[in-house]
Every structure is written in C-alpha cells, then in structure tokens.
C-alpha cells in the first residue's frame, strides 16, 4: 500500500515533506521500543503513542519506513529534526491507536509479525536467494 | 566519525577490479550437473560462471544444483539448468555501485567483465568487505608512520587479523545521545557491504545493549563492534552495578527499570531477549555482580551459522 494512501485512511498530516509514493508492505503498532525491535519487519510503518526522539532512533535501527503518531500527539521538535535528518517520514493523526490500526487492517494492510513466529529471521533473510 | 566518512569515500574510490577474486572457477555448458556438484564441493564455492569459449553465456549456482538433484536430473547439462544472460558488473565500476547491485538483485555473486565484456573475475559481498578492510588497514599503517592519530569517540584498532573495531563510549543516563553508538555502527556496516538484514540484527543488538548501559549503570560503559570478514563481534562492557541473577534478567518481562524509563518506552524487560534473538552466539557475564560484560557474535556467512540457528 502506498504511503499516501495510508495517510489518507488514517486522516493523517505529514509533519514534513516526503515521498508519498513509497510502497509499504505491512504495519505494526507498539509503545514499547523493545517490542518494536522484536516485532516489526523492515520497511513497515509503525503506529505509536510515543513521541520521543528514541522512536526515530528505534525506527532507524529496525529499518522502519515511517512513523504515525496516534491520538493527536505532537512529537517534540527534536524528534522531527532527527527524522528529517534520517529521512524517516512522520505523520500525525487524531485517531486513537485502535481505530487507526483497525482502519488500515480493514483496508488490506497486513500485520508484520513474521519475526515473532520465526524468532531470529527477518523478512530480508527469506527474500535473499543465493545465486 | 572520521573513519566512517573515509570508509564511505573508499566505496567510491576503490574499483570492483581491486577487490574481486581473479581466479575464477568456470564451467562449460556441456558440463553435467553431477560434474558441477564435484567442482563446487572441491573448490568450496556455491556458484560458477558458464563460459563457451571466451564468451560468458550464463551462471549456475548451488540452488540450480539442488533443483536438479530434487528432479533427479543430475545427468542434465549445465547449459540447460543455468541462468542465461547473467547480470554482470564491470571491473572499472566503483565498489559503491556493486553494493547497490547486491541490494537490488539479492544475488550472492556477480561475474565481473572488462570493457569488452570478457570475464575477468567474480565478486561476492565477502570480496568487498575484505577489500575495503585491507585498504583501511594499509591507510592506517601509512598514518601510523606519519605519527598521525585519529581518535575521538570513534577509534579504529587494526590487529593482525584483517578487521576493524569501532569503539563508542556510552554515558549513564544520557538519553539525549541514546542510539548514537548504534547508528554509527549500523552506518559503518552498510558501507562495508554487510547484507542489510545482518546490519539490522547488529544494530538491534547494539541499540539494546546501549540502552542497558544508559539505563542501568552508574558511570556508563563502552561498546565495541569488531568487524571481521566473516563475522561481527559486539562487546558491551560497563562499570556496574552488575546483574545478581542473570537467569532472572533473561526472563522476558523481568525489569528493574524505574517508571520514568518505562515512560520513555524502554525498560519493558525484553531487551536481553531481543539481543539473544538477533545473535548467533551470546555470552553474558557479571562476575560477583560487580559489572556486566556481554559478547555477541553474528556470522556474515549463512553457512557458518551454528546448526541450531540455521535450521
């Protein structure tokens, strides 16, 4: 699903300019950063209620494609500055977490919890073929 | 930071021809799959370019071999089973282009050709990592001779092994710079052509260990990432207090983090589990609960990964 479409579904506002055509394979939601690191696949969109710069750091480590802040929360200016620097799109929505996730899931965005079933594997591992 | 920038520059300066393997084991279209099996086994390689006379006509891999084995077609010729018109790279292109091709195509190797299309070598990610490390090592020795020493937070220690060590100091309670060490290490890894999924695992390990030092120690610690051609070794050593019961600390959900840390989204008690999940080997020690030392090994080569993890 295109990032632009995702923003439209959650009635979100981009917090700075970025590429809306980027393809997002799946989504995940968590407020605990270790959960994000454990559950989310590379390239996913993250829905969270946490607005500290650590969310962006976590996204950087876990190769997360973008972050949606739920329930009308505005991230700190440092958070926005860091995301801009790292090229990680930020979006704010007034919807609560449950509804934002529900709308996206209903629209066909799949949940990314592969790594929780095959603990040490990531989606990238599965895709790489040896030639 | 100076070293990382230098590493980035090197990926533009160093040419594919400088790092590729020149002695290429090749096969012919009429080679049988059974013969191919012996060739791959004897040379311990997982694929080979196919040449007809001087012309590169295809590439055949251990994957094609497995397919033929399953189909009971080991008598078939390589010409029938190979991938035709393989994607090639040119010896005069920069290493940075090769890194892009590896990430884009997901192949394990590329045949290297000269300007006239003639096969001159073969390139794997391992060749790139080894080549860049060698280059850095040479430069380091030149710098030593000039008594020039680059060292801030980020230091590069070259031992007799071809390796690079990134060292980052982590301050206790310093949430503002949290993630800096991990970010630097991740960037260095991707510039060294480490596959993205491995760089990601290493970054997650470093980040969790970095957060542990920030949250739980009284005067900080250090994170060292040693990159060798076949593995990444990450060490986190702090100044204490240590962990009285490591088994308990490894339990998912067990946490001694104060509430204000939890409010920041950390201290949920799954950090060490995340580290373990991303590691091929993990050793955690806390002698007399004085301080904590964690060592993690992540193998770059799938085949070297311990059996229980590779299953």
Rounded distance between C-alpha atoms, residue B1 and residue B41, angstroms? 42
Interface test with A, best of B82, B107, B185, B197 (most A CBs within 10 A): B197
Can you tell me whether residue B52 is helix, strand or coil? Answer: strand
Rounded distance between C-alpha atoms, residue A91 and residue A25, angstroms? 17
Structural domains for chain B: 16-124 (3.10.580.10), 151-310 (3.30.565.10)
Rounded distance between C-alpha atoms, residue B88 and residue A116, angstroms? 37
Structural tokens at position A120 = 């040490």
pTM of the model: 0.66
Name which of A54, A60, A123 is nearest B264 (Cβ-Cβ).
A54
With a pLDDT cut of 90, the percent of chain B lying above it is 37
Torsion of CA B45, B8, B233, A31, to 10 degrees: -110
Which one, of B192, B197, B227, B216, lies nearest residue B292 by Cα? B216
Query: Could you tell me which chain B residue has the CA closest to the CA of A63?
Result: B200
Q: What is the distance between the terminal CA atoms of chain A, rounded to a whole angstrom?
A: 30
Contact of B131 with B18, CB cutoff 8 Å: yes
pLDDT band at B302 (very low <50, low <70, confident <90, very high): low
Binding-site residues on chain B for chain A (CB distance < 8 A) = 46-47, 59, 61-63, 83, 106-109, 175-176, 178-179, 182-183, 186, 195-197, 200-201, 203-204, 206-208, 211, 264-266, 268, 270-271, 273-274, 277-278, 302, 309
Composition of chain B by helix, strand, coil, percent to 5: 45, 20, 35
Q: Which residue has the tokens 């992540």?
A: B298
Domain ranges of chain A: 3-118
Name which of B63, B175, B265 is nearest A131 (Cβ-Cβ).
B63
β B83-84/B55-61 pair status: antiparallel
| pLDDT per residue as tens digits for the range B187-204 | 888 888 888 889 999 999
Range among B93-107, B144-158, B243-257, B280-294 with highest mean pLDDT value = B280-294
Residue A116 has pLDDT above 50, yes or no: no
Residues of chain A neighbouring B265 (CB-CB closer than 8 A): 31-33, 50, 52, 54-55, 58
Chosen CATH of A3-118 out of 3.40.1390.20, 3.90.1300.10, 2.40.40.20, 3.40.50.300: 3.40.1390.20
Strands across the sheet containing B164-170:
B164-170, B221-227, B231-238, B293-299, B281-285
pLDDT band at A52 (very low <50, low <70, confident <90, very high): confident
Query: Could you tell me which chain A residue has the CA closest to the CA of B46?
Result: A131
β-bridge partners, B124: B109
| pLDDT per residue as tens digits for the range B42-57 | 988 888 999 998 889 9
What's chain A's average pLDDT? 85
Q: Which residue has the tokens 């994957």?
A: B63
Rounded distance between C-alpha atoms, residue A15 and residue A20, angstroms? 12
Q: Do B204 and A120 lie within an 8 Å CB cutoff?
A: no
Range A88-101 average pLDDT = 96
Rounded distance between C-alpha atoms, residue A118 and residue B60, angstroms? 30
- Chains A & B: contacts with CB separation below 8 Å: 104
For B262, half-sphere exposure in the C-beta direction (CA atoms, 13 angstrom radius) is: 10
Q: Is the ipTM of this complex over 0.85?
A: no
Query: Could you tell me which chain A residue has the CA closest to the CA of B206?
Result: A61
Residues of chain A neighbouring B50 (CB-CB closer than 8 A): none
| pLDDT per residue as tens digits for the range A62-93 | 999 999 999 998 898 989 999 999 999 999 99
Angle at B262 between CA B256 and CA B266, to 5 degrees: 90
Angle at A60 between CA B213 and CA B173, to 5 degrees: 25
Q: Å from A116 to nearest chain B CA?
A: 10
Residues of chain A neighbouring B197 (CB-CB closer than 8 A): 42, 122-125, 128
pLDDT band at A130 (very low <50, low <70, confident <90, very high): very low
Query: What is the pLDDT at residue B112?
Result: 95
Range B213-225 average pLDDT = 90
Rounded distance between C-alpha atoms, residue B155 and residue B52, angstroms? 49
Rounded distance between C-alpha atoms, residue B293 and residue B203, angstroms? 18
């Amino acid at each position: 699903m295109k990032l632009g479409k995702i923003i439209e579904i959650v009635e979100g506002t981009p917090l700075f300019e970025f590429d809306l055509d980027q393809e997002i394979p799946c989504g995940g939601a968590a407020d605990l950063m270790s959960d994000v690191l454990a559950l989310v696949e590379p390239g996913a969109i993250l829905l969270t209620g946490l607005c500290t710069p650590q969310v962006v750091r976590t996204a950087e480590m876990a190769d997360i494609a973008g972050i949606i802040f739920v329930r009308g929360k505005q991230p700190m200016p440092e958070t926005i500055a860091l995301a801009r620097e790292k090229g990680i799109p930020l979006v704010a929505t007034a919807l609560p977490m449950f509804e934002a996730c529900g709308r996206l899931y209903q629209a066909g965005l799949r949940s990314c919890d592969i790594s929780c079933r095959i603990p040490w594997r990531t989606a990238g591992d599965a895709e790489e073929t040896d030639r | 930071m100076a070293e990382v920038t230098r590493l980035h520059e090197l990926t533009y300066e160093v040419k594919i021809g400088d790092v590729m393997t020149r002695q290429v084991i090749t096969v012919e279209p009429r080679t049988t799959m059974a013969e191919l099996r012996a060739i791959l086994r004897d040379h311990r390689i997982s694929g080979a370019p196919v040449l007809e006379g001087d012309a590169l006509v295809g590439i055949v891999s251990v994957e094609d071999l497995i397919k033929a084995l399953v189909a009971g077609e080991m008598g078939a010729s390589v010409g029938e089973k190979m991938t035709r018109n393989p994607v090639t790279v040119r010896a005069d292109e920069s290493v940075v282009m090769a890194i892009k091709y590896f990430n884009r195509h997901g192949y394990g190797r590329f045949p290297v050709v000269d300007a006239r299309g003639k096969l001159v070598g073969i390139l794997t990610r391992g060749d790139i990592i080894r080549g860049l490390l060698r280059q850095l090592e040479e430069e380091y020795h030149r710098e030593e001779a000039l008594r020039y020493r680059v060292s801030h937070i980020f230091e590069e220690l070259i031992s007799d092994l071809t390796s690079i060590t990134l060292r980052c100091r982590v301050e206790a309670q310093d949430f503002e710079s949290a993630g800096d060490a991990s970010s630097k290490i991740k960037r260095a890894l991707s510039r060294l052509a480490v596959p993205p999924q491995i760089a990601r695992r290493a970054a997650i390990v470093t980040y969790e260990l970095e957060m542990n030092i920030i949250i739980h120690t009284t005067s900080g610690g250090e994170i060292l990432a040693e990159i060798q051609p076949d593995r990444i070794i990450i060490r986190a050593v702090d100044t204490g207090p240590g962990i009285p019961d490591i088994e308990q600390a490894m339990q998912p959900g067990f946490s001694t983090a104060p509430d204000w840390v939890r409010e920041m989204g950390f201290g949920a008690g799954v950090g060490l589990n995340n580290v373990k999940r991303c590691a091929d080997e993990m050793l955690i020690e806390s002698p007399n609960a004085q301080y904590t030392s964690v060592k993690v090994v992540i193998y770059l080569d799938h085949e070297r990964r311990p059996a229980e993890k590779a299953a």
